[in-house]
Amino acid sequence: MTDLTALTLDDARKGLAEKKFTAVELAKAHLDAMEAARPLNAYVLETPEKALEMAAASDARRAKGELGRLEGIPLGIKDLFATEGTRTTASSKILGNFIPKYESTVTSQLFRDGAVMLGKLNNDEFAMGSSNETSAFGPVVNPFKPANWDNGKAKAALSGDKKGLLVPGGSSGGSSAAVAANLCLGATATDTGGSIRQPAAFTGTVGIKPTYGRCSRWGIVAFASSLDQAGPIAKTVKDCAALMTSMAGYDPKDSTSVDLAVPDFEAAVGKSIAGKTIGIPKEYRVEGMPAEIEALWKKGADMLRAAGAKIVDVSLPHTKYALPAYYIVAPAEASSNLARYDGVRYGVRVPGKDIADLYEKTRAAGFGREVKRRIMIGTYVLSAGYYDAYYLRAQKIRTLIKKDFEDAYASGVDAILTPATPSAAFGIAEMADADPVQMYLNDVFTVTVNMAGLPGLALPGGTDASGLPLGLQLIGRPFDEETLFSLGAVIEDQVGRVTTSRWW
Amino acid sequence: MSVDAATVRRIARLSRIALPEADVGGMQNEINAILGFVEQLSEVNVDGVEPMTSVTPMALKMREDIVTDGEKADLVTANAPQSEDNYFLVPKVVE
């Protein structure tokens, strides 16, 4: 039998429908692959019993002719999504052995449509990071090897300190690595400043951050509530569209979720893009950007032009202020959201001489360094005397960033094409001694989209000279993810998939 | 703007995070690197610009004022590090 883990989600659906294999066989193949890939550290918890039980239930439904959109499809779930009865940690020590008594809306919709959970995926602690190195469970290894490394050298590093191996991006690094390494057919992810799109770009996978409000945030561990959105990472544009169709939708339990009909996003894949106008923002041509990224960007525009799109230059003048404004807004919201981790209601507790001492010791022991720093920055920018200078100013700049996009769309642009990241994947521990801003610069092309609440799709645009994936990003109008899927499919048709083969 | 060591200690206190004295200097440097980075925001003219308060402009939905959830104290306290009879246990706070 062919390797079932090498299939795309869409192919697996066809195979299941044609009875070539069962959901149980499909789940088993993935569970075996996960076991063999443990050194990559993509999963923080494998749930084989639950997976086989859900797969058997799916096979039983299929026998009765009850078929959901994702019937029998095995998925990995980012450990930021609360899963009923299954440990959920946000990859932080502070949540300890937290077992939710409820299911997040997004995962409940995936399971409603027949999906099978394989386990919980690693991520940066509380989704704060761009390399998955802030996880309390340790870093995830990118299934793409560094340039010119043979399998033996990579394997040796994998069983050692992992230095030199590549990061899978973050914060959804477990999701991107698991999809690229064929450890699931798709994964849930979240994106606050680029946490779906940057990891997708680093691993040759496809990820979409939907419009703010498209997916319910209920049951997802909160980082920055005005920026967080859930979305899928998958092997292809069509797979991504299938997952998104299931994940999206109005939820009365999240007052920011939008009551709009959810289209069948899969139907947008393969639609003609003739006559669409694509904007190329000149402000994304940043200093020090590698020539390879510049060339990739141009190639992406050429592909869309060849398919009948019109390419125009646009200006988004406040682009350079998005990242600094983000590093005020996101920590401010995080400092508020993470106040709940106090050692009283759930998670880890370190005893203290009084309640304040208990809080301080618990939070000192439970949070990692990146999280502590962001909480402290957020506390500072919200504190008396600094609120206007920092937070209020950042929120005004956010209005200007959003207006830049509104002006571009009002001028007739349907979508905007940019590189997804300023570089290919870098090495584990490579940024350890750099100041935090160097790591933050990874999100320079993605963070604008969160600040404006827009949808953004990242997909492979090709590879660099050493064969590492490079990503392109398509930014859409609010709630027009369909155009992004149509455009993405055109690029995917011409680029093909960027895949790695097993060496771990 | 930059912060001094005393301010770092004060922020840690406000954040309810115990910060060992040995970590103050390192945290101060990192916070100052970030504050230095965000400094460029002061060059933007924001006169007359409204702060963004809603990402997607929409009215909040209203619902009937009825109880929709509750009576599950055992589930609520199930993950507590210390609880008794469905109450969270904390150190004495009132003398």
Please state the three-class secondary structure of A416-436 as a single string. EEEECCCCCCCECCCCCCCCH
Shared-domain flag, residues A268 and A374: no
Between CA A292 and CA A303, with CA A298 as vertex, the angle to 5 degrees is 125
**Is A237 found in the same domain as A112?**
yes
Domain assignment present for residue A342? The answer is: yes
pLDDT > 70 fraction of chain A, expressed in percent and rounded: 100
Could you report the predicted ipTM of this complex, rounded to two decimals? 0.96
- Nearest-by-Cβ selection for B52 from A353, A375, A402: A402
Cα(A293)–Cα(A492) distance, rounded to whole angstroms? 17
Average pLDDT over residues A157-166: 96
Distance CA A212, CA A255 (A): 12
Chain B closest-CA separation from residue A138 CA (Å):
22
Q: How distant is the Cα of A167 from the closest Cα of chain B, in angstroms?
A: 22
Mutate to test the interface with A, among B1, B15, B61 (most CBs of A within 10 A): B15
> Could you give the CA distance from residue B75 to residue A284 in angstroms, rounded to a whole number?
49
Confidence label for A315 from pLDDT (cuts 50, 70 and 90): very high
Q: A259 with A348, same domain?
A: no
Q: What is the pTM of this model?
A: 0.97
Do A219 and A79 touch, CB atoms closer than 8 A?
no
Mean predicted confidence (pLDDT) in A101-126: 98
Give me the residue from A98, A367, A436 closest to B79, CB to CB: A98
**CA A389 – CA A409 distance, rounded (Å):** 31
Is A171 considered catalytic here?
A: yes
Read off the pLDDT of residues A437-466 as tens digits, 9 standing for 90 and up. Answer: 888 888 999 999 999 999 999 999 999 999
Q: Does residue B87 have a pLDDT over 60?
A: yes
Does any domain span residue A235?
yes
Q: Does A286 fall in a domain? A: no
Residues in B closer than 8 angstroms to A99, CB to CB, are 78-79
Fill in the amino acid letter for A18: E
Residue B1: is its pLDDT beyond 80? no
**Among A98, A445, A453, A196, residue whose Cα is nearest residue B79:** A98
pLDDT higher than 90, residue A18 = yes
- Of A365, A393, A421, the position where a domain reaches its end is A393
Contact check, Cβ <8 Å, B52/A399: yes
Q: Which tokens in the block code for residue A193?
A: 């400043």
Q: Mark A361-381 as b/e (b = at least 16 C-beta within 10 Å).
A: bbbbebbbebbbbbbbbbbbb
Partner residue facing B91 (CB), from A347, A358, A360: A358
Residue contact A393–B1, C-beta within 8 A = no
Q: What is the dihedral of CA A9, A15, A16, A22, to 10 degrees?
A: -110
B56 to A256: CB separation less than 8 angstroms, yes or no: yes
Q: Give the residue-averaged pLDDT of A31-55.
A: 98
Question: Residue B37: closest CA among chain A residues belongs to which residue?
Answer: A324
CB contact under 8 A, B52 and A380: no
Please tell me the distance from the alpha carbon of residue A21 to that of residue A1, in angstroms, as a whole number.
9
Say if B76 falls within a structural domain: no
> Strand A116-121 and strand A74-78: pairing?
parallel
Q: What would the mean pLDDT of A318-324 be, rounded to a whole number?
A: 97
Say whether A225 is catalytic: no
Res A1: pLDDT: 56
Whose CA is closest to A7, among A30, A40, A28, A37? Answer: A30
- Predicted local distance difference test score (pLDDT) of residue B76: 95
Name the residue among B92, B53, B10, B5 with its Cα closest to residue A256: B53
- Asked whether residue A486 is assigned to any structural domain, the reply reads no
**pLDDT at residue A376 is higher than 60:** yes
Summarised one tens digit per residue, pLDDT across range A125-147 is 999 999 999 999 999 999 999 98
Same-domain pairing of A88 and A212: yes
- A343 and B81 within 8 Å at the Cβ level: the answer is yes
In this structure, the answer to whether residues A240 and A351 fall within a common structural domain is: no
Whether residue A86 lies inside any domain: the answer is yes
Q: Which residues from A are below 8 Å from B6, CB to CB?
A: none
| Residue A379 to residue A122: CA distance in whole angstroms | 27
Query: Of these residues, A104, A131, A171, A257, which one is catalytic?
Result: A171
Last residue of a domain, one of A240, A274, A308: A274
- Tally the domains of chain A: 2
> Could you list the residue range(s) of the whole structural domain that residue A347 is in?
321-393
Binning pLDDT at 50, 70 and 90, where does residue B93 land? confident
Tokens 């195979």 found at: A15
Which helix (H) or strand (E) covers residue A493, if one does?
helix A481-495
Answer yes or no: do A217 and A363 share one domain.
Answer: no
* Residue A229 shares a structural domain with residue A326: no
Are both A223 and A363 inside the same structural domain? no
Question: Cβ–Cβ of A436/B50 closer than 8 Å?
Answer: no
Cα-based distances in Å from A96 to A88, A148, B80: 9, 40, 11
CATH of the domain at A187: 3.90.1300.10
Q: Among residues 25-84 of chain B, which lie with CB inside 8 Å of chain A?
A: 27, 29-31, 33-35, 37-42, 44, 46, 49-53, 55-56, 58, 60-61, 63, 72, 75-82
B13 exposure class (CB count in 10 Å sphere: 0-12, 13-18, 19+)? middle
Q: Is A78 a catalytic residue?
A: yes
Interface probe with A: pick from B45, B69, B79, most Cβ of A within 10 Å: B79
In chain A, residues with a C-beta closer than 8 Å to the C-beta of B38 are: 324-325, 327-328, 390, 394
Asked if A235 and A368 sit in the same domain, the reply is: no
Q: Based on the domain organization, do A233 and A145 belong to the same domain?
A: yes
Query: Which of A116-130, A166-180, B49-63, B71-85 has the weakest average pLDDT?
Result: B49-63
Output DSSP code: residue A348.
-
Residues A71 and A165 both lie in one domain: yes
DSSP 8-state symbol, A201: H
Instruction: State the CB neighbour count (10 A cutoff) for residue B70.
Output: 7
Domain contains B67: no
> For the segment A252-261, what is each residue's pLDDT rounded down to a tens digit?
999 999 999 9
Tens digits of per-residue pLDDT, A339-355? 999 999 999 999 999 99
- Residue B18's domain comprises 5-42
Interchain contact, B41 vs A328, CB within 8 Å: yes
Q: What is the mean pLDDT of chain A?
A: 97
Which of A90, A15, A83 has the alpha carbon at shortest distance from A47?
A83
Contact B44 A435 (CB under 8 A): no
At A360-373, the pLDDT tens digits run 999 999 999 999 99
Q: Are residues A29 and A151 in the same domain?
A: yes
Q: Which of A324, A376, A379 sits opposite B27 (nearest CB)?
A: A376
The first and second tokens of residue A474, run together, are 């398509």
Q: Which alpha helices (H) appear in A162-227, and where do they start and end? A: 173-180, 197-203
Number of domains into which chain B is organized: 1
| Residue matched to tokens 């702060």 | B51
End position of a domain, from candidates A393, A428, A449: A393
